[in-house]
Structure 1
Amino acid sequence: MERGIIKIENGEIIIPDTPVWMTVGEMSDLFMVSAYGIRKALRQIFRSGIMDEHDAVRPFPYAEGCYAEAYNMEAVVAVTFRINAAACRRFRELMLRRFMEKSLDFYICIPAADCNHRTGYDAAQVWQERHKLS
Structure 2
Amino acid sequence: MKRTVITVDGNGMLSIPSNLENLWMSESELIDMLYVTAPKLTAVIRAIYKEGMLLMSEVQQKQETSKGIWQTLYGFPMVVAICFRLNSNGAAQLRDDITKRLYGAKEKIAIVLQIYGGTNAFS
TM-score, with structure 2 as normaliser: 0.82
Query: Which residue matches 2:115?
Result: 125
Query: Which residue matches 1:3?
Result: 3
Q: CA deviation at 1:32?
A: 0.8
Kindly indicate whether residue 93 of structure 2 is the aligned counterpart of residue 103 of structure 1.
no
| Larger Rg, first or second structure (1 or 2) | 1
**Structure 1, gaps ≥5 residues long:** 111-123, 130-134
Q: CA deviation at 1:11?
A: 4.8
Asked which structure has the greater RCO (Cα within 8 Å, sep 6+), the reply is: 2
Residue type at the aligned position of 1:13: L
Within a 5 Å distance, the mapping from 1:1-134 to structure 2 comes to: 1-9=1-9, 10-18=11-19, 19-108=22-111, 124-126=114-116
Secondary structure at the residue paired with 1:125?
coil
TM-score, with structure 1 as normaliser: 0.76
Secondary structure at the residue paired with 2:115?
helix
Percent of aligned pairs with the same residue? 24
Moved over 3 A (4+): 107-110
Secondary structure at the residue paired with 1:91?
helix
Distance 1:17 1:125 in 2: 39
Q: CA deviation at 1:64?
A: 1.5
Q: CA deviation at 1:50?
A: 1.1
Distance 1:65 1:109 in 2: 55
Distance 1:109 1:51 in 2: 32
| Matched residue count | 114
**Structure 2, gaps ≥5 residues long:** none
User: 1:85-115 CA deviation, whole Å, 9 max, x = no partner?
Assistant: 12111111112112211212223467xxxxx
